[in-house]
A and B are shown apart, each in its own frame.
Chain A
């Protein structure tokens, strides 16, 4: 809770700094505030503090995911450099909105009451609707904002209907009480669970409710896309798991078939469509759908190992995504395009950028010695423990398809020739973020035990 307060106050301070035109202080103040929030979270480890009549409970699960969300936000802020200045002169608003979105994300991972789930999702989503459309005169940014907004509020409506039905069946919004009264009125309860399942898959962008994802990810400014595919997705999955793990843990036999079908469709659609994309940003959007499929496996097979599996996967995926979107931002600013052909010859002109992109894509594809490998390893471990061999077979096959399209970019970077031989100049904090992401990815790939026993 302290962390939410610190971030909200930081956001307001940043807004005032913008009012008084102190442009140089925006980034340092935001990052300092976020570091303060991290510190306050670390202090609450193992304490299990609950707030507001048990509406928010900061257990270790919530704290681990909050730390990840804040760390990702810091990395994205450090990359933003003068990215927002090129869009508009009022930069402070963008930092503020992203910080407010982060408070929504933290609420989502620490809720113990449906009210807080709803409010968290809304704070996060409404902020992201604005961020998707910050390029006011760019038609694709406009389109992304409207699509995200209409689809997002549609999903919110479905979520609320589910919450209302579950309230009708159990008479409570508290997760533990709901779990205790699940069998009182089965019809209302299961209908509510299905509505909530649909809404949550909508929010995390899993098939068959993924259709908004590619358009929104492609149309939004790239830095915002990186925020969506890391912070929003991690918060969504953490909330998903918290909801289904504690409130609906007695329901599995009914939903298993539904979620198993969703996993298969998500993996197939995400990976196979990604293989045909010529635009790298759109390809990563489809690949983010496929990653949602892998993470859904842990929710399908709820158990002791699920929280840890989701956490490891989110860490690996967030860091690799930040790095790969960071490279895309740099290439797009330099060459004016993020098509596959813009990456031709990057290995010769910018060896560092190409190396960062290679490591990030290897991690996304799950190649050993990168963090992504252990992300997939633990997810598959959950499935093997539950005897879902056929699901593993499909998932491994799709991971192979994933490696094919990630390597298309790597081949373009190292084996094709570019037209221009200029190298891309990056500022210090940008380089720091990219190198940091690469180091963490390789470190976790060599020594995964650093994060595997946290939860």
Chain B
């Protein structure tokens, strides 16, 4: 465990922040531009994983386990969210035979 923490701190902290920010914004762009519900969903997962990476890096640099524990919380909750989200997407597919989110425009004035 010591070795892993040391290995993480070999790379400067700013690099981790930059990398996570880039992954996070790739996720945001995916959510905004893609039209397939599954791909949008994958982009959201990408955002969450960027956060996990960032938390782990901060945690290793500070020598504080709280950040890594938070990562476990995120993973567990994200799994629950995936279960509900995929169920909703399957429900949509059964009714529409498509998961294109542009088809979802029935609720308008």
Contact = CB atoms under 8 A, between A and B. Distances in A.
A binds B: yes
Contact of A150 (B17, B24, B44, B66): B44
Given A142-B95, A218-B107, A161 B37 contact: no
B91 interface: yes
Contacts of B37: 146, 150
Contacts of A164: 20, 51, 54-55, 58, 67
B48 A143 contact: no
A167 B104 contact: no
B84 A149 contact: yes
Contacts of A157: 24, 27-28, 44, 47-48, 51
Interface of A is mostly: helix
Contacts of B48: 156-157, 160
Given A146-B104, A150-B41, A173 B66 contact: yes
Interface in A117-161: 118-119, 122, 126, 129-130, 133, 136-137, 139-140, 142-147, 149-150, 153-154, 156-158, 160-161
Contacts of A258: none
Interface string B18-44: 001000100110010000010011001
A133 B64 contact: no
Contact of A168 (B17, B27, B107): B17
Interface residues of B, number: 42
A130 B83 CA distance: 11
A420 B48 CA distance: 54
A282 interface: yes
B51 A146 contact: no
Contacts of A118: 70, 73-74, 77
A119 B70 CA distance: 10
Nearest to A165: B54
B109 A282 contact: yes
B80 A153 contact: no
Contacts of A143: 92, 104, 106-107
A136 B54 contact: no
Contacts, number: 119
A136 B31 CA distance: 25
A278 B109 CA distance: 8
A181 B90 CA distance: 46
Nearest to B63: A171
A386 to B, nearest CB: 34
A173 B47 CA distance: 20
A279 to B, nearest CB: 8
B67 A167 contact: yes
A272 B50 CA distance: 39
A153 B43 CA distance: 11
A126 B88 CA distance: 11
B50 A154 contact: no
Contact of B84 (A126, A140, A161, A214): A126
Contacts of B28: 157
A115 interface: yes
A93 interface: no
Contact of B73 (A115, A154, A279, A282): A115
A193 B69 CA distance: 22
B62 A171 contact: yes
B92 A142 contact: yes
A277 interface: yes
Interface in A28-64: none
- Which of B31, B41, B109: most chain A Cβ within 10 A? B109
A126 B31 contact: no
Interface of A: 114-115, 118-119, 122, 126, 129-130, 133, 136-137, 139-140, 142-147, 149-150, 153-154, 156-158, 160-161, 163-165, 167-168, 171-173, 188, 214-215, 218-219, 276-279, 282
Nearest 8 pairs of A and B residues by beta carbon: A157-B47, A168-B58, A160-B51, A215-B107, A143-B104, A164-B54, A122-B77, A171-B62
Given A139-B96, A168-B58, 14 more contacts: A114-B70, A115-B73, A119-B77, A130-B84, A143-B107, A144-B107, A146-B104, A147-B104, A150-B40, A153-B41, A167-B59, A215-B107, A276-B109, A279-B109
16 contacts: A118-B74, A122-B81, A126-B77, A129-B85, A139-B96, A142-B88, A142-B95, A143-B107, A147-B104, A150-B44, A153-B81, A157-B44, A157-B47, A158-B47, A161-B51, A164-B67
